[in-house]
């Protein structure tokens, strides 16, 4: 429960939508000791390697389950091979399916495929976007974001708009940047990022 409070308290709101994001540096606080403290005593005793697996390959998955209030699912999901690299997950067969499929559509996860688990699946799928805010860099590479994915901008200001687009000026969260210079006056904020959103 202590980790839930810490993670929930660290969520930031993206001003461009209703999405929240968990800064990547907060995931570094998920240590072996904290994982072990959150697990039921039976899991601590019978699966001693579980905390190490979480810390090495599934911190995001663990954080999602903590925020979704479904931590007991971690054991079965890890046994199925779910790691952070499989995110984001989606339903395999439509809106009522409890079978989840990896982002590259090559692996399925059946841990939630039980009667009356629809709400748990929906909650997991919604919460996963809090840990998937992208890291931006100076290369200017093009990528497509899901509409549910929060942008890691704690401050956003509209600077202009036209017939089919709006221009925003924003600061980029330090944990979600690579290659930008830190401003000495405001070390917690990174260089300004300009965004253009086109309608349609």
Please check whether residue 92 is in contact with residue 103, taking contact to mean a CB–CB distance below 8 angstroms: no
User: Among residues 2, 17, 1, 36, which one has the least CA distance to residue 130?
Assistant: 17
Domain boundaries, the chain: 24-131, 136-198
pTM, 2 dp: 0.83
Per-residue pLDDT of the chain (200 residues; tens, 9 = 90+): 689 999 999 999 988 888 899 999 999 999 999 999 998 878 777 788 999 999 999 999 999 999 999 998 999 999 999 999 999 999 987 777 888 999 888 899 998 877 778 889 999 999 999 999 998 887 877 878 888 998 898 888 888 888 888 888 888 898 988 876 655 544 554 445 555 555 44
Number of residues that make up the chain: 200
* SS3 state of residue 44: helix
Please check whether residue 73 is in contact with residue 111, taking contact to mean a CB–CB distance below 8 angstroms: yes
Instruction: Give the separation between CA 9 and CA 30, rounded to whole angstroms.
Output: 14
177's enclosing H/E stretch is: strand 177-178
């Amino acid at each position: 429960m202590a980790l839930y409070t810490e993670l929930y308290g660290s969520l930031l709101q993206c001003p461009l939508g209703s999405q929240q994001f968990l800064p990547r540096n907060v995931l570094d606080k998920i240590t072996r000791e904290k994982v072990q403290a959150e697990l039921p005593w039976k899991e601590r005793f019978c699966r001693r390697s579980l905390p190490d697996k979480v810390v090495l390959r599934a911190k995001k998955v663990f954080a999602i389950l903590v925020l979704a209030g479904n931590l007991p699912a971690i054991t079965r999901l890890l046994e199925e091979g779910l790691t952070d690299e499989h995110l984001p997950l989606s339903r395999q067969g439509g809106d009522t399916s409890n079978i989840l499929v990896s982002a590259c559509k090559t692996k399925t996860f059946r841990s939630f495929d039980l009667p009356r688990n629809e709400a748990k699946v929906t909650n997991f799928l919604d919460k996963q976007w809090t840990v998937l805010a992208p890291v931006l860099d100076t290369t200017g590479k093009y990528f497509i974001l899901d509409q549910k994915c929060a942008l890691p901008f704690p401050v956003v200001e509209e600077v202009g708009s036209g017939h089919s687009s709006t221009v925003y000026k924003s600061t980029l969260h330090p944990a979600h940047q690579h290659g930008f210079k830190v401003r000495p006056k405001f070390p917690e904020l990174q260089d300004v990022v300009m965004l253009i959103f086109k309608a349609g």
